[in-house]
Amino acid sequence: MKHAERRGKIQTVLGLIEPEAFGITLPHEHLMSDGSGWFTEPEDAFEKEMAYHPVTVDILWWLTYHRFTNLDDMTFSDEQEAIDEVMHFKLAGGSSVVEMSNIGLGRAPASLARISRATGLNILMGCGYYFDASMPPEVDDMSEEEITDEIVRDIEEGVGPNRICAGLIGEIGLSWPMTPNERKSLRAAAKAQKLTGANLNIHPGQGEDSAMEAVHIVEEAGGDLTKTTMDHIDRAVRERDNRIALAKTGIVLEYDLFGREGHYPMGHRKIDLPNDHIRINEIMDLMDAGYTSQIIISQDIWNKTQRRKYGGWGYAHIMDNVLPVMRAKGMSDKDIHTIMVDNPARLFTFD
């Protein structure tokens, strides 16, 4: 599809729509995904047994504190379950879901199209590469230009036999420190953004400086920061001065871990993950500083244990539980509309 045909429209897995049809949007979720590519088997005998245990309510006590070490919990492959779960968002008033499972996260174009038809939700599919540990081996030998070309093809020509087109670039995965492959991937994604006019979505590494380092790379590669989203502010950028510094660049700040509270798996860095009330306070602080148009929110449901079937909060959590708290804290309906409708529609509309 030619660039001129996409300009001013949003590209879903079923085709182009007008921005006005996007409605209430979850800009960072997973419906079909596979994290087995970067699953690491534990050494301890008990932990190993639990790592291969199917997700059931009776082991939630363990799963809650081992989010990324149970193989079943890291895999979504049941289309009907995805339909049943995301319909809670639809019934709560939602219209659109941005699906972030790109290469390295088990992207499933045909499944997303079927889920969209079954639910009536607008669904956007990502492209590009997740972080280094999940990249296929051939990325080592790919040039920056080859990755750029691949991303552009996924947007313009589509993926798979049904030629389902990506509607954004991302989530582009980064570690901390950033690896050479990740730097190459991010630069390629920024160049593809410039060529296509698509939104660029970045998953920063678990370092306080990772997000700003990514910003500098996007700038150097010629990307548009006003059409770029920095994910996971609620686990990646915990110092207020750094959030303000990011906002000043023009980039969009995404609070996307709503529902996940109190504990985040730790690597080299201790993360004091905020609860939903603190997330709202931080968002309102950014709004008071003049950055309402640069904020979007989501839940990043990626583990089975986040879905209602397994005892989680589900895709309607923001609609059912978060918005009433936002209003109680003084956020106006206009502010909420800006964050959940206007900002996503602008971001995912092709330039």
**Residues 174, 182 contacting (CB under 8 angstroms):** yes
Domains and CATH numbers, the chain: 12-347 (3.20.20.140)
Please give the C-alpha separations between residue 308 and each of 24, 86, 117, 311, 315, in angstroms, as whole numbers.
21, 10, 22, 5, 8
User: What's the rounded Cα separation, in Å, for the pair 87 and 119?
Assistant: 6
The pLDDT value given to residue 67: 83
Task: Please give the pLDDT value at position 65.
Answer: 85
3-state secondary structure the chain: CCHHHHCCCEEECCEEECHHHCCCEEEEECCCEECHHHCCCCCCHHHHHHHCCCCCHHHHHHHCCCCCCCCHHHEECCHHHHHHHHHHHHHCCCCEEEECCCECCCCCHHHHHHHHHHHCCEEEECECECCHHHCCHHHHHCCHHHHHHHHHHHHHCCECCCCECCCCEEEEECCCCCCHHHHHHHHHHHHHHHHHCCCEEEECCCCCCHHHHHHHHHHHCCCCHHHEEECCHHHHCCCHHHHHHHHHCCCEEEECCCCCCCCCCCCCCCCCCCCHHHHHHHHHHHHHCCCHHHEEECCCCCCHHHCHHHCCCCCCHHHHHHHHHHHHCCCCHHHHHHHHHHHHHHHCCCC
Q: Tell me, what's the pLDDT at 271?
A: 73
32, 76 contact by CB (below 8 A): yes
Kindly report the backbone phi and psi dihedral angles of residue 193, in degrees, each rounded to the nearest multiple of 5, phi listed first: -60, -45
pTM check: above 0.85: yes
Residue 229 — φ and ψ, nearest 5°? Answer: -115, 130
Query: How confident is the model at residue 154, as a pLDDT?
Result: 98
pLDDT in tens, the chain (351 residues): 678 999 999 999 999 999 999 999 999 999 999 999 889 899 999 999 999 999 999 999 999 888 889 999 999 999 999 999 999 999 999 999 999 999 999 999 999 999 999 999 999 999 999 999 999 999 999 999 999 999 999 999 999 999 999 999 999 999 999 999 999 999 999 999 999 999 999 999 999 999 999 999 999 999 999 999 999 999 999 999 999 999 999 999 999 999 998 766 655 566 778 999 999 999 999 999 999 999 999 999 999 999 999 999 999 999 999 999 999 999 999 999 999 999 999 999 999
- Show Cβ contacts of residue 290 under 8 Å, excluding neighbours closer than 6 positions: none
pLDDT at 266: 57
180-196 vs 144-156: helix crossing angle, rounded to 10: 40
